[in-house]
Chains A and B, each alone.
Chain A
Amino acid sequence: MSKQPKQLAEEDLHGYVDGRLDAARRAEVEAWLLNNQADAARVAAYRQQNEMMQALFNPVLNEPIPLQMHPQARHRSYAQPMRYAAMVGGMVLSGILGWSLHGAETNKQPAVLAMVNRAALAHVVYTPEVLHPVEVGKEQEEQLTKWLSKRLGNNIKAPHLTSAGYELMGGRLLPGNQGPVAQFMYQDARGLRLTLYISSKMAGKGEASFRYAQEGKVGVFYWVDEDLGYALSGELAKADLLRVANAVYQGLNQ
């Protein structure tokens, strides 16, 4: 029999709980615990504490990162923390981010330009999502469009873009400048994602032609039809994006 120490060092007990002892020390602690019920009970309780902490809080690791913590939203916003924006009626991002538009008609239709800006931001925020790219998937397309139509107070359709090589993934509801807006996401065979952002209450007549804006790496084709504003965003060549925009327009007007 190996000689038993008179007392177990407190730090060895914790080192044992946390799995930080070498084999020899571990064996000593185990031998001690066999004959010391009170310490064995402590070890069991402390281990359970660790396990329960993990079980209780590990799910936080899989929660989507809030919009305002996202680097794309962050590094243009040193001046003012994003959460203040979030507090002012649903994330008034555009002003703070100061994303500049390179379109020709910067001073026209501020509501439309604000929409383009927000569409591009929503694109960069949600397209990289692995676990939660969309809120409602395409398998519930009918409920999705019904729900979005109700919230936007308009007949909202998710155009099918299979002919252009893109499949619908699903969509989500987002806060817009003037109430709720919809975002549909599409993906091609290589995994490249496009988003279609739809905003109601645009009240802009005679804008039915496509316009183009470049927001960083994201290209956006946008137009207003009746009182709905549309913005198609993607990180691809302008000509390719235009081809898809045409498919969207056709899909919507079928």
Chain B
Amino acid sequence: MDSMNLIITEQIPRLRRYARALTGDRTSADDLVQDTLERAWSKLHMWRRGSDMRAWMFSIMHNTFINHIRKNRLDTVSIDEDALEVPTRSTQEDFLQMRDLSSAIGKLAYEYREVILLIGLEQMSYDEVAKVLGIPLGTVMSRLSRGREKLRTIMAGESAPVLRRVK
């Protein structure tokens, strides 16, 4: 049991980092991690010793995340709803680009957010992401491409308020 403790505990910092970026706030993120850990413990008998614990935990977190969204515990949009999603408000204080990034990520549909973060932040390979999210590789690539471009547009919009007013 102790070695399992260790092998799961090792993943907690990465799960927390990903959850923080995914949800944008500390409380929701730790809530998500906590539920993920509960599930991991209860399903531990299904984990094959020697297989990739990180991938296993992240796929549990993905399912938990989707559940939280379904139960409306997280405020987020899906690809289906974001057709009209455009960069909006940009205040004088929004000069700190880093803070912009976090809020810009929050404006992306969660399907894009997951792919972008697993690749850019968690540095998973495209194949690993496909496995973790349970989607085909082609879908990973198209979400990555659209997600990154949307994020770029949002960031550009937020740091160029003057240009936006012209619209």
Please give, as numbers and ranges, the residues of chain A lying within 8 Å of B5 by CB-CB distance. Answer: 71, 75
Q: For residue A147, give the distance in angstroms from its CB to the closest CB of chain B.
A: 25
A65→B12 contact, CB < 8 A:
yes
Please tell me if A157 contacts chain B, counting CB pairs below 8 Å.
Answer: no
**How many A-B pairs fall under 8 Å by CB?**
92
- Majority secondary structure, A binding face: helix
Q: For residue B111, give the distance in angstroms from its CB to the closest CB of chain A.
A: 16
Would you give the 0/1 interface string for A31-52, flagging 1 where the beta carbon is closer than 8 Å to chain B? Answer: 0000000000010011001101
Surface stretch bound by A, among B47-55, B58-66, B69-77, B116-124:
B116-124
Please give, as numbers and ranges, the residues of chain A lying within 8 Å of B17 by CB-CB distance. Answer: 57-58, 60-61
Please give, as numbers and ranges, the residues of chain B lying within 8 Å of A68 by CB-CB distance. Answer: 34
Would you give the 0/1 interface string for A171-199, flagging 1 where the beta carbon is closer than 8 Å to chain B? Answer: 00000000000000000000000000000
Would you give the 0/1 interface string for A131-149, flagging 1 where the beta carbon is closer than 8 Å to chain B? Answer: 0000000000000000000
Interface residue tally for chain A (C-beta within 8 Å) = 33
Give the complex CA separation of A34 and B149 in angstroms.
20
Task: Report A58-76 residues with CB < 8 Å from chain B CB.
Answer: 58, 60-63, 65-66, 68-71, 74-75
Q: For residue A54, give the distance in angstroms from its CB to the closest CB of chain B.
A: 6
B101's partner among A53, A58, A81 (CB-CB below 8 A) is A53
Please tell me if B88 contacts chain A, counting CB pairs below 8 Å.
Answer: no
Please give, as numbers and ranges, the residues of chain A lying within 8 Å of B105 by CB-CB distance. Answer: 53
Looking at B1, B33, B34, B41, the one whose CB has the most chain A CB atoms below 10 A away is B34
B120→A69 contact, CB < 8 A:
no
Please tell me if A102 contacts chain B, counting CB pairs below 8 Å.
Answer: no
Please give, as numbers and ranges, the residues of chain A lying within 8 Å of B144 by CB-CB distance. Answer: 14
Please tell me if B21 contacts chain A, counting CB pairs below 8 Å.
Answer: yes
Q: For residue A225, give the distance in angstroms from its CB to the closest CB of chain B.
A: 36
Please give, as numbers and ranges, the residues of chain B lying within 8 Å of A58 by CB-CB distance. Answer: 17
Are A65 and B9 also in contact (CB < 8 A) when A42-B149, A49-B148, A52-B101 are? yes
B152's partner among A11, A49, A62, A63 (CB-CB below 8 A) is A49
A49's partner among B20, B31, B120 (CB-CB below 8 A) is B120
B125→A20 contact, CB < 8 A:
yes
Q: For residue A60, give the distance in angstroms from its CB to the closest CB of chain B.
A: 4
A81's partner among B16, B34, B151 (CB-CB below 8 A) is B34
Give the complex CA separation of A131 and B12 in angstroms.
16
Please tell me if B38 contacts chain A, counting CB pairs below 8 Å.
Answer: yes
Please tell me if B8 contacts chain A, counting CB pairs below 8 Å.
Answer: yes
Give the complex CA separation of A129 and B126 in angstroms.
35
Please give, as numbers and ranges, the residues of chain A lying within 8 Å of B41 by CB-CB distance. Answer: 74-75, 78
A55's partner among B1, B9, B38, B98 (CB-CB below 8 A) is B98
Apart from the given pairs A57-B21, A60-B17, A70-B9, 6 other A-B contacts in the complex at a CB distance below 8 Å = A14-B144, A46-B148, A49-B151, A55-B98, A57-B20, A71-B5
A interface residues with partner B (beta carbon < 8 Å): 10-11, 14, 18, 20, 42, 45-46, 49-50, 52-58, 60-63, 65-66, 68-71, 74-75, 78, 81-83
**Could you give 10 example pairs across A and B, Cβ below 8 Å?**
A10-B145, A18-B123, A52-B98, A53-B101, A53-B117, A56-B101, A62-B13, A65-B12, A69-B12, A81-B38
B interface residues with partner A (beta carbon < 8 Å): 1, 5-6, 8-9, 12-14, 16-18, 20-21, 30-31, 33-35, 37-38, 41-42, 97-98, 101-102, 105, 116-117, 119-121, 123, 125-126, 141, 144-145, 148-149, 151-152, 155
